[in-house]
Amino acid sequence: MRALVLALLVACGAAPPPPPPVAKTPAPAPDPVTKPTGYVEVRVLDVIGMGDGDTLLLVDDVSNTVVPIAIGGTEGMSIVGRVRGVPPRRPLTHDLLEDAVKKLGGTIVKVQIDELRDSVFHGSVYVRNAKGRIVRLDSRASDAVALGIGSGVPIYVAQGVLDEAGLERDKVMPQITPTGPVT
């Protein structure tokens, strides 16, 4: 039938209809598990007691930059215990959340420090749920780091955060008293 319509249109001097549009294949979405563009991988350098709270020191070994993040004492204790592999006597909040994620069939796949806004660090925890879908949870930076360490997943910091809050490691370390090797 289409051939007959085309023949009639050509005979009458009309242009044939354009071919049907070819469906474009959308570009694949970025893999939410890999290092995001514009982020660097960091590790915990130390947690230092500072008055009523602690300071978490994250280090980018490539640029030799330290990001200090003020955190609460409980978060500091949780992070140090997790880095050293010393479980608490009773589950802390991070242990509870990690256990809930596991028992619901999920796994934590990565954590990020995404932003520094009004002197507050904002983080994300990425969880693969039981159906394989990856979901992002808004998080405090210290909670993201604690969960990342406990799950053995990468910790990423946005380059903008590193540029804004980062300090040269060689200049920072002589000014602080380390609590002992964390890593």
- CA of residue 156 relative to chain centroid, distance: 5
pLDDT band at 181 (very low <50, low <70, confident <90, very high): low
Residue 29 lies in a domain: no
The pTM for the full model equals 0.78
Whether residue 126 contacts residue 32, with contact meaning beta carbons closer than 8 Å, is answered with yes
CA distance 182 to 147: 16
- Answer yes or no: is 92 within a domain: yes
Domain that holds residue 67: 36-175
CATH number of 109's domain:
3.10.690.10
pLDDT digits (tens, 9 = 90+) for 29-72: 556 678 899 999 999 999 998 778 899 999 999 999 999 999 99
User: Do 157 and 146 form a contact (C-beta atoms < 8 A)?
Assistant: no
Q: Is pLDDT of 138 > 80?
A: yes
Rg (C-alpha) for the chain, rounded Å, is: 26
Give the phi and the psi of residue 121 in degrees, each rounded to 5. Answer: -85, 130
Q: In the chain, how many domains are there? A: 1
In a domain, 7, yes or no: no
Contact of 106 with 131, CB cutoff 8 Å: no
Give the pLDDT confidence of 84-132 residue by residue, as tens digits. 999 889 988 999 999 999 999 999 999 999 999 999 999 999 999 999 9
